[in-house]
């Protein structure tokens, strides 16, 4: 089984696709750029969604649901926004099919042409702000803190499961505020929630920063991002939170009567993470044996494998172990298959990234112990059966921490400084990873660097120091280093 995966060294892209397929996470579909999320992949998404949903609710947000379709004219109302999305959207033009009079199956019924075309939402700012106009009258209606879990469609030319697909699942928060300060605080707070989720649950270290003007969301005044580093040295934008100023309020004429009795435009944020996170999760931790999952997001945290096969005596002990784990909220599977050999099963569970495997044979039971294998380091060790629940619980915490520490040290090893273009290119070509360098702050330089090296400014880190320097490209003055990388 494991042998069927291409190694990272041989072909990183193929390794990723192999894991997606062989771990049962997703499948291609007959619809260009759309994937089928298989039960195991969807179970990971459910864990992510439930945790994020909890964090959003704890910070005062509620969920709602807005239409899938957006009237074409809405898209044009915010100038930058339309520029960002009109070129990659699915357009509904008709509402009916009919039998082909020539007998060739079904054709679009020309009589059923829509008066105005509908766009399948690429994101929902426009339809939501059109709705907020009716919901917001006075400062008493603010803030409005709404999130939506939904599917969206962007007609991408090059797609890759989870990382970039035509249809994807996501959450999009859309909040409305009475002051600029409050909206900016909201965008920053959600940025922090995203970083906390990435690090504490995905065990994926992220850099928190702001996007350059050029890399901002279409229609935003400020875009905060969390940027992660994948094992091929490329960066992944994992979540963004936008301060939208009054752009959408003005485009859709959303005003409120302030507590000083003045009519003002509303201030906005929007923010989202998507099934792309699953791609990040895979590429942060997995290895040449398959998927590696942090325990907090693993649908099954522990698998118990009777050795060499299930029998009543072993199953009795397996059930007891499972009960002790379940008592602690640990999800556990007992392998009841009596056809395949243990070696085959071990490879299978490694492929699926189950954090802990417990092997249980007759001699183990005689010795009042079991053999525990951790997926992250592949170490095996005997555990006494007394108090197995607590021991496994401690082990799962340790795996979670180890994965984070490992990813952090990978990132540290792959974060370099460059003081000139020669160094910059050398790092990108030979080592990859984040490159910290001075930049003169102009879009012109940013675009030239991108053109020449394919590296983009991932972000201006929130904790970047103010320091004098010269731009690696233009030689002009710079006041801060920024973070470059080639990216997904």
Q: Which residues bind a second copy (CB under 8 A)?
A: 27, 29-31, 34-39, 42-43, 45-46, 62-76, 82, 86-98, 105-106, 108, 117-120, 127, 130-131, 134-135, 146, 150-151, 153, 155, 167, 169
Q: Tokens for 36?
A: 């089928």
Which residue, 24 or 361, has its beta carbon nearer to a second copy?
Answer: 24
**Cβ 28 to a second copy shortest distance, Å:** 9
Helix ranges (H only) for 117-179 are: 125-135
Q: Give me the half-sphere count of Cα atoms (radius 13 Å) on the Cβ side of residue 422.
A: 0
Which residue, 120 or 449, has its beta carbon nearer to a second copy?
Answer: 120
**Cβ 132 to a second copy shortest distance, Å:** 10
Which residue, 60 or 308, has its beta carbon nearer to a second copy?
Answer: 60
Which residue, 91 or 447, has its beta carbon nearer to a second copy?
Answer: 91
Which residue, 12 or 40, has its beta carbon nearer to a second copy?
Answer: 40
Q: How far apart are CA 363 and CA 344, in angstroms?
A: 21
434 Cβ neighbours under 8 A, 6+ residues apart? 207, 227, 229, 235, 411, 414, 415, 416, 458, 483, 484, 485
**Cβ 153 to a second copy shortest distance, Å:** 7
Report the candidate in 323, 163, 160 with the shortest Cα–Cα distance to residue 236: 163
Q: Tokens for 135?
A: 């919901």
Q: Is the peptide bond before 308 cis (omega within 30 degrees of 0)?
A: yes
DSSP 3-state of 217: coil
**Cβ 85 to a second copy shortest distance, Å:** 9
**Cβ 362 to a second copy shortest distance, Å:** 28
DSSP 3-state of 235: strand
Say if residues 195 and 273 touch (Cβ distance below 8 Å): no
Q: Tokens for 204?
A: 């994926």
Instruction: List C-alpha distances in Å: 439 to 207, 416, 428.
Output: 18, 15, 16
Which residue, 93 or 377, has its beta carbon nearer to a second copy?
Answer: 93
332 Cβ neighbours under 8 A, 6+ residues apart? 300, 301, 302, 303, 304, 321, 322, 325, 326
Which residue, 25 or 461, has its beta carbon nearer to a second copy?
Answer: 25
**Cβ 98 to a second copy shortest distance, Å:** 7
Which residue, 339 or 363, has its beta carbon nearer to a second copy?
Answer: 339
Which residue, 50 or 313, has its beta carbon nearer to a second copy?
Answer: 50
Which residue, 80 or 88, has its beta carbon nearer to a second copy?
Answer: 88
**Cβ 171 to a second copy shortest distance, Å:** 13
**Cβ 336 to a second copy shortest distance, Å:** 14
**Cβ 442 to a second copy shortest distance, Å:** 28
360: β partners: 306
Q: Tokens for 345?
A: 């099963």
Which residue, 106 or 465, has its beta carbon nearer to a second copy?
Answer: 106
The tokens 């496994």 sit on which residue?
392
DSSP state of 215: G
**Cβ 255 to a second copy shortest distance, Å:** 19
The burial of 9, by beta-carbon neighbours within 10 Å (0-12 exposed, 13-18 middle, 19 or more buried), is given as: exposed
Which residue, 127 or 268, has its beta carbon nearer to a second copy?
Answer: 127
**Cβ 149 to a second copy shortest distance, Å:** 9
Q: Give me the half-sphere count of Cα atoms (radius 13 Å) on the Cβ side of residue 444.
A: 5
Helix axes 39-58, 276-285, angle to 10 degrees: 110
43 Cβ neighbours under 8 A, 6+ residues apart? 299
Say if residues 173 and 123 touch (Cβ distance below 8 Å): no
Q: How far apart are CA 457 and CA 434, in angstroms?
A: 10
DSSP 3-state of 20: helix
**Cβ 275 to a second copy shortest distance, Å:** 9
- The conformational region for residue 35 under phi > 0 = left, psi -120 to 50 = alpha, else beta, is beta
């Amino acid at each position: 089984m494991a042998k069927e995966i291409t190694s990272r060294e041989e072909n990183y892209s193929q390794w990723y696709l192999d894991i997606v397929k062989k771990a049962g996470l997703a499948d291609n579909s007959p619809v260009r750029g759309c994937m089928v999320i298989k039960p195991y992949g969807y179970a990971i998404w459910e864990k992510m969604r439930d945790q994020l949903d909890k964090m959003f609710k704890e910070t005062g947000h509620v969920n709602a649901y807005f239409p899938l379709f957006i009237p074409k004219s809405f898209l044009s109302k915010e100038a930058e926004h339309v520029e960002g999305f009109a070129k990659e959207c699915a357009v509904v033009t008709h509402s009916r099919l009919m039998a082909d009079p020539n007998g060739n199956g079904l054709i679009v019924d020309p009589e059923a042409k829509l008066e105005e075309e509908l766009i399948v939402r690429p994101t929902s700012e426009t339809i939501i702000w059109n709705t907020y106009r009716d919901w917001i009258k006075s400062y008493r209606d603010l803030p409005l803190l709404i999130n939506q879990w939904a599917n969206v469609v962007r007609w991408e030319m090059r797609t890759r499961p989870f990382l970039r697909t035509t249809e994807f699942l996501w959450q999009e928060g859309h909040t409305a505020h009475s002051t600029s300060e409050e909206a900016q605080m909201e965008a920053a707070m959600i940025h922090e929630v995203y970083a906390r989720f990435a690090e504490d649950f995905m065990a994926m270290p992220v850099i928190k920063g702001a996007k350059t003007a050029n890399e901002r969301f279409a229609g935003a005044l400020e875009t905060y991002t969390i940027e992660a580093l994948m094992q091929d040295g490329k960066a992944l934008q994992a979540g963004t939170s936008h301060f939208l100023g009054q752009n959408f309020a003005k485009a859709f004429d959303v005003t409120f009567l302030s507590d000083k009795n003045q009519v003002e435009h509303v201030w906005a944020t929007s923010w989202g993470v998507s099934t792309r996170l699953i791609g990040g999760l895979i590429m942060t931790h997995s290895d040449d044996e398959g998927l590696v999952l942090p325990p907090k997001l693993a649908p099954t945290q522990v698998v118990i494998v009777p050795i060499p096969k299930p029998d009543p005596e072993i199953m009795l002990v397996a059930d007891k172990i499972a009960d002790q784990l379940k008592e602690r909220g640990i999800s556990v599977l007992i392998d009841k298959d009596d056809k395949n050999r243990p070696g085959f099963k071990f490879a299978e569970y490694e492929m699926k990234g189950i954090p802990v495997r417990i092997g249980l044979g007759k001699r183990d039971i005689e010795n009042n112990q079991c053999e525990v294998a951790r997926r992250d380091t592949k170490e095996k060790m005997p555990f006494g059966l007394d108090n197995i629940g607590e021991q496994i619980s401690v082990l799962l915490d340790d795996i979670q921490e180890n994965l984070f520490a490992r990813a952090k040290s990978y990132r540290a090893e792959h974060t370099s400084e460059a003081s000139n273009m020669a160094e910059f290119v050398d790092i990108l070509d030979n080592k990859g990873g984040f490159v910290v360098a001075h930049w003169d702050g102009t879009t012109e330089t940013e675009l030239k660097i991108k053109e020449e090296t394919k590296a983009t400014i991932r972000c201006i880190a929130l904790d970047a120091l103010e320091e004098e320097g010269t731009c690696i490209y233009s030689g002009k003055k710079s006041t801060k280093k920024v973070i470059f990388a080639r990216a997904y």
